[in-house]
Chains A and B, each alone.
Chain A
Amino acid sequence: MNSLDPRVSRLPQIQEPVSLKAPLDQFGTFEVFVQPKEGKPFQHEGIVHAPDIELAWVLAKETFTRRFTCTSLYVADTRDVYVSPLTEGESNAYDPIPETRESGIKKTYEIYHLAKRGRQHVHAGTVQAATPQHAMTEAKLQFNTGKTVYNVWAIANDAIRFTTPEEKELWLTLSEKKFRDASDYKGGDKLKEFLERKLIS
């Protein structure tokens, strides 16, 4: 290819037409949850596509924690998030949730609330439950204060890839990495000096 960019000029010729992407070419879907500050609740940030949960964690770190201060993140396969219907107005997402009783072996579920439409889902707490449906019932008992919640999510703890304590060092930004911050680009002095020079000449 004839380009101004020598790297583009060096690219090999691909003669045959590029075939269409097969399903899953962009991998599975994983939901990403970030803790912005120590002591603050985790919140839903978005998704990444990855072939497995380990790579999902790596990609989530690259995609969602580039600038904002962040102390931890975790990921879960979208299929492992149990979702209540989305409500509106005064109607509380907890209201239609039935009372399910379960006697099986319990495990921990992370519960998320959507407190305001248009905002992100925020961590409300954890419950012990035998099934996702049961986790919803438990969440209703423990976290339903009567204040309208528009959507509830439950994720089994063992389906989550958490950040280990050692990995948390990743977010301790080195001072030499300040070049990624707007605050590192103070052109003011240079501009002022230039304008003064222009005034004299």
Chain B
Amino acid sequence: MREDYIRTEQLAVGYGSQVLIRQIELHVKRGQIVTLIGPNGSGKSTILKSIIRHIRPLGGAVCLDGRSMKDMTEREIGRRMSILMTDRVRPEAMTCREVAAAGRYPHTGRFGILSREDRKKVDEALAMVQASDLADQEFARVSDGQKQRVLLARAICQEPEAIVLDEPTSFLDIRHKLELLEILKELVQKRRVAVLLSLHELDLAQKISDYVVCVNRGAVERCGTPEEIFTPDYMERLYGIEARRFNGAFCSAELEPAAGKPEVFVIGGNGSGIPVYRRLQRQGIPFAAGVLHENDGEYPVARALAARVIAERPFEPISREAFEEASRILQTCSQVICCLTEFGTMNEKNRQLARMGEEQNRRRSRTEEENRT
């Protein structure tokens, strides 16, 4: 069995003398990515800051490479663990290469003069984060995404065996978020680095983590693999989201649905209904959706946004009961929208619903015209 590279034993963290979280037991092995998630203010950063010794742990110990960090010198720690933080760094008159080269600190001599080999490692690290072309530009002038990449290069050329990152993706756009995490994954796979990070983006956490640690209300509430953690039930509880709003497969949550008696009936399926559901939600119109199979990709979205969903069990043809219920609700709606152009064996009854809807829409528009004239 592999050794834990970063390990906390009964760690208590907080500010001043006030303990925020107690009894933290984290284990990160080399070649593993462990992610802390949890609501704002739950203490993810406090835990990470205590591990990197930015704030003093209020109890327990942090072990690095099998030794308590209390017994290690700054240099010994610097050679084993590097960091990447959210806070923006604003150094004056430093090129990106200089910023990255700062990572060689624990490996250089008294005056910090870089050897040829040090310089090679800096260039390699810059190449790894695809920032070679930025090397001679002034750090203060490159974009946030580029800055974060250069700072990651700094962390890489420190040649650590563990990297701790505090919400490294916070200011980045989606492409830069993905790129940063891909580089991280590469580090883990090629150099067997132990990675401990905190993330706000649950979808990213779900994709990158080997192990997820949930911090909530002053405690490490739950740990597990992404499959165990990112269930709708638990996520809704962890973040205090209303039931059914969270989609476990994509780790995303829908906005609050319009409540009330359905005014529109949407016949969807196979993802075709999602844009309509979202439009109706935006316009604040309560709607019903059906008949949807429970294994249809759009089912979770419909469940989150529709005032009423008529569902059928997976892989079963639409039952008579479901059809009847749907047609009853359909008749009370003032508009029917059918998003499907094709029907198959399993949702054959939706074709019938669609026809009923068409008829109903036509009748309604005729009465409206008559009323006008």
Q: Do A and B bind each other?
A: no
Give the interface of B toward A (CB within 8 A): none
Report A's interface with B, CB cutoff 8 A: none
